[in-house]
Amino acid sequence: MASGGTLSGTVAYTYSGTDAVTGNTITNRATAPINAGSYTVTATLAGNAYYHDATASASFTINSKSITGFSVYDIANQTYTGTAVVPAVTIKDTAKNITLSAGADYTVSCPDVNVGAATAIITGKGNYTGTLTKFFTIVPKDITVSLTASPSETTKIGKNVLLSAAIIGAVDLPSGTITFKQGSTIIGSNVPITETGGVYTASVTWESIPYGTYNLTAVYNEADNDNYNAIAGGSITGYSVTKYVQNDFSIADGSSYDIADGTINKTYGDAPFSLEVSGRLSTGALIYTSSDTAVASVNPSGTVTLHKSGIVTLAAVSFADDVYNSATATVVLKVSKADQSSFP
């Protein structure tokens, strides 16, 4: 039996195994692993003149730590997106004063889409295992309403106008409806919203509109548990519905006079004559005037009486009605002096 030799020195440790977090295999690494996984540690004591090298190995496992009991910070209200809402979540191992890293240490999922109570499901990953839940609230998404008209700014009396409300900010088809008004008068109530090519609109035809100037609005009516909150309605201020013009209204040639170059030629002593008009469309009153009644006067029915020689302007006024604007037509009357046929 050998005797008298001594053995001293430092034990060296190496590690091998599979890192369960990264999936990497380590071999004879000098630093101890910290991630969850299955490993083998080998201790080596170098020999000397008296003894051979000595080694010893042992297997061990680093288990993932359960997140049960970890602190989950409150989750702020989340806005409706049209898809499952996955909020940002902060988790802390309060015992170790360690804040976990999202994505590396845990994942978050949520099955909830619509407005109301929702649940975040937190699942440990890598060095952590287990499941936690945290409640939060999904709140409506803000939208606005834009109102347009066709024709856009004005139309003629009695015509129809197409009013269209576009929903701005929606990510899917809203469940609410649109009410269209002019002033306090409803044009269309609870008109459904439809989708075309990702654009959400509601339309109504404003029919047989009387003359006037109108202020138009489109308001979003929220449905029960609506995913949207309208923060502004649509409006058009001063939409004008105008009357037609009596473009062709004029004083025409009559049975007892002709108009040449805009002038009626008469001679003092000629018999009274009646003015005739054409192109009159309004059902309003029709009146006649003379610029100088000392030369020629005209009665309400348009009969002209000559009083002396001179030049006057005769006018016919067709007053407005519910459809047509007023119109004025004029003609010059030239009254020449008469011959003194009995002299001498």
The per-residue pLDDT for range 154-164, each reduced to its tens digit, is: 999 989 999 99
Q: How far is Cα 330 from Cα 289, in angstroms, rounded to an integer?
A: 9
Q: Does the pLDDT at position 75 exceed 50?
A: yes
Residue 95 pLDDT > 70, yes or no?
yes
Using CA of residue 129, residue 132, residue 136, residue 142, what is the dihedral sign? positive
Q: What are the backbone dihedrals phi and psi of residue 322, each rounded to the nearest 5 degrees, phi first?
A: -70, -15
Beta-carbon contacts of 264 under 8 Å, excluding residues fewer than 6 positions away, are 257, 258, 314, 331, 332, 333, 334
Instruction: Tell me 243's DSSP state.
Output: P
pLDDT digits (tens, 9 = 90+) for 112-149: 999 999 999 999 999 999 999 999 999 999 999 999 99
Q: Which two tokens stand for residue 227?
A: 């995913």
**Percent of the chain beyond pLDDT 70?**
97
Token look-up 């269309």 returns: 188
Section 268-295 average pLDDT: 97
Q: How far apart are CA 103 and CA 176, in angstroms?
A: 38
pLDDT of residue 2: 45
**pTM metric for this prediction:** 0.75
